[in-house]
Structure 1
Amino acid sequence: MGERKRIGLAVVGSLAVCAAMATAATPAAAGTAAASCYASSGNLYCDNAPAAIYAAPRYSRPNGNPERVVDRLLTTHSYFKCYVTGQQHGGGNNVWYHTYGDQTGAWGYVAAANVYTSVDPYPGVSRC
């Protein structure tokens, strides 16, 4: 019974350590994403999700048809020239960042929901 009790305590202790590590990692990860963004000369350099780049700052046109995708962001840290306001998106705002794609180099707009900024528009980034 003593051996079983020690094993049980070891398992409980290990689970507590894992839970503490997971809790500690979550804010650090969020802070790292925001901390990796910076503005320089009106441009934004920031971590991002791989995402579609649209011809205009919207997912769909006024007639309901989808907006044309001109390229894609494949990297997870990108350059954004400036920002505009456009269609509301899942990020809870209507800010879109102007950038070029990783496949063909075409310029277009990425919803701020895909850019890991702490606030949109990001301070120091020029309006297009």
Structure 2
Amino acid sequence: MSPSVPRRAARLRTGLAAAALTGAGVLSTVPASAASPAGSARTCHLREGMHHADTLGNSFSKDLYCENKPGDLYGRAYFTAPVTGRLKTSTSWFVCWTLGDPHPGGNNVWYYTQGDEIVQFPALKGWGSIPADHLWTAQDPMPGLPRCPWK
């Protein structure tokens, strides 16, 4: 596991505590019928004041902390792009959204994050995009989360 994984987990715990204490998180609950086959409601939180910087020089001050299915992160929002990282956890943060290949979720929205595991291109430190059907969001793109700075 890469050295960034413990730092990422610590950032997640710190961010959750800060959002809970300050009330900065915005809550969006997905209806149980749309969220999961088990019928339990899933939740995503927009968090302000979260600081993430990727290896490409982009900085982000907000994230979406959301339940998700583990899966591969792609270097671009296309299934033909190299897999740069992997989400292994079932709750992760996402800093922006972009458009790419259509996926089984019925749209072409993808979310950008740093993976729990580096797969290819170690210099990218696991940053990549995952199709929106891996997240339990009420709608895609998630309102309030910025679009990624590239087109």
Same fold (TM over 0.5): yes
CA-atom RMSD in angstroms? 1.7
- 1:123–1:106 CA distance, 2 compared to 1 (3 A): same
- 1:38–1:71 CA distance, 2 compared to 1 (3 A): same
What are the within-5 Å matches in structure 2 for residues 15-94 of structure 1? 27=33, 29-30=38-39, 32-33=41-42, 36-41=43-48, 42-60=62-80, 67-94=81-108
Distance 2:141 2:40 in 1: 18
Partner of 1:15: none
* Greater relative contact order (Cα < 8 A, sep 6+): 1
Stretches of structure 2 that go unaligned for 5 or more consecutive residues are 1-31, 49-61, 119-124
- 1:117–1:31 CA distance, 2 compared to 1 (3 A): farther
Distance 1:107 1:72 in 2: 9
Stretches of structure 1 that go unaligned for 5 or more consecutive residues are 1-25, 61-66
Q: Deviations over 1:15-43 (max 9, x none)?
A: xxxxxxxxxxx64854521xx20112342
Distance 1:38 1:91 in 2: 20
Equivalent pairs, count: 95
Aligned partner of 1:101: which letter?
Answer: G
Distance 1:53 1:89 in 2: 14
Q: CA contact under 8 A between 1:40 and 1:124: conserved in structure 2?
A: no
Distance 2:77 2:39 in 1: 26
Aligned partner of 2:41: which letter?
Answer: T
Task: State the 1:91 CA deviation.
Answer: 0.5
Larger radius of gyration: 1
Query: What is the identity percentage for the equivalent residue pairs of Structure 1 and Structure 2?
Result: 39
The TM-score with structure 1 as length reference comes to 0.68
What are the within-5 Å matches in structure 2 for residues 93-104 of structure 1? 93-104=107-118
